[in-house]
Amino acid sequence: MNFLLYLSDYMIPIVIFYIVGFGLLMRTNVFASFLKGVKDGFQVVLDIAPTLIALMVSVGILRASGGLNYLAAFLSPLTSWLHFPGQLVPLALMKMVSSSAATGLLLDIFKEFGTDSYIGRVASIMMSSTETIFYTMSVYFTAAKVQKTRYTLAGALVATLAGIVASVALAGW
Q: 57-86: which residues touch another protein (CB under 8 A)? A: 57-67, 70
CB of 161 to another protein, least distance (A): 8
Cα–Cα distance between 11 and 82 in angstroms, integer? 32
Q: Is 36 in the site for another protein (CB under 8 A)?
A: yes
Q: Which is nearer to another protein, 86 or 125 (CB)?
A: 125
Report the Cα 166 to chain-centroid distance in Å. 14
Q: Which of 20, 80, 88, 91 forms a contact with another protein (CB under 8 A)?
A: 20
Q: Which of residues 137-166 bind another protein (CB under 8 A)?
A: 137, 139-141, 143-152, 154-156, 158-163, 165-166
Over the window 106 to 135, marking each residue x when it contacts another protein by CB under 8 A and - when it does not, the resulting string is xx--xx--xxx---xx--xxxxxxxxxxx-
Q: Which is nearer to another protein, 12 or 81 (CB)?
A: 12
Is 122 within 8 Å of 71 (Cβ atoms)?
Answer: no
Cα–Cα distance between 173 and 168 in angstroms, integer? 9
Q: Is 11 in the site for another protein (CB under 8 A)?
A: yes
Q: Is 170 in the site for another protein (CB under 8 A)?
A: yes
Interface with another protein: number of residues (CB under 8 A): 104
Q: Give the residue among 9, 37, 2, 11 at the shortest CA–CA distance from 23.
A: 37
- Distance (Å) of CA 14 to CA 44, 92, 98, 110, 169: 25, 31, 32, 28, 27
Is 86 within 8 Å of 51 (Cβ atoms)?
Answer: no
Q: Is 88 in the site for another protein (CB under 8 A)?
A: no
CB of 52 to another protein, least distance (A): 5
Q: Which of 56, 72, 76, 79 forms a contact with another protein (CB under 8 A)?
A: 56
Is 112 within 8 Å of 132 (Cβ atoms)?
Answer: no
The letter for the amino acid at 34 is F
